[in-house]
Chains A and B, each alone.
Chain A
């Protein structure tokens, strides 16, 4: 067991389309969290909530943004703990394969876990759920 979350996912879409979705502010804001993100090394971004005031804010700095690898630090507001999120895209026959890595989770101080989870239960997670239903509605409307 280690403290890295790894996800792999294949999207039946061209690599540039997936890259735009994860690296352009207006697109990230549609499926993830509202943001001023810029895929430029050193850019300091903020992930806002999806319009809910009680949602937890994420900030961080872009470490690397060369197609098709995107790496940024991930700091949850009020924790001051830096973790790192890495998106890597690879062209495949089916479309695009994404390797997502979120490392440094063991950096969180133990005593903040409970507060953090409580705030997420009522906050952030519910924001992501909101986003999900928003996307579903969009799909149905379209």
Chain B
């Protein structure tokens, strides 16, 4: 359970994986590994590896049809991450505002 978010961070830390994920989001339907390879100048093996990392983070689901595998993006896990970040962003902004006001006052 604990390392789910770590997996998500790992998955989106790589710019190429973000691109692939983005392409899948834009497609809004399942794309085959072959189609993904066609969009990026990396090997099929490379794409497969990136997809696997994205799948482990729950950001991509893979289904097989015949000999081809189809990938579909799922943005839901990202929500968890951004909520944590968003909360603390807001929290520290508020805290620093308070600190500034306090310093001006004292």
Contact = CB atoms under 8 A, between A and B. Distances in A.
A41 interface: no
A128 B9 contact: no
B98 A132 contact: yes
Contacts of A142: 105
Interface in A90-142: 98, 100, 102, 105-111, 113, 116-117, 120, 124-125, 128-129, 131-132, 135-136, 138-139, 142
B103 A18 contact: yes
Interface residues of B, number: 35
A11 B95 contact: no
B9 A1 contact: yes
Contacts, number: 107
Interface in B62-106: 77, 80-81, 83-85, 87-106
Contacts of A110: 1, 4-5, 77, 80
A22 interface: yes
A30 interface: yes
A22 B99 contact: yes
Nearest to B82: A1
A7 B93 contact: yes
Contacts of A7: 92-93, 96
Nearest to A125: B91
Contacts of B90: 125
A105 B81 CA distance: 9
Contacts of A30: 102, 106
Interface in A65-109: 98, 100, 102, 105-109
Contacts of B33: none
A138 B102 CA distance: 9
B96 A108 contact: no
A108 B92 contact: no
Interface of A: 1-3, 5, 7, 9, 11, 13, 17-18, 21-22, 27, 30-32, 98, 100, 102, 105-111, 113, 116-117, 120, 124-125, 128-129, 131-132, 135-136, 138-139, 142
Interface of B: 1-2, 4-6, 8-9, 12-13, 77, 80-81, 83-85, 87-106
5 contacts: A3-B9, A100-B96, A109-B4, A120-B87, A132-B98
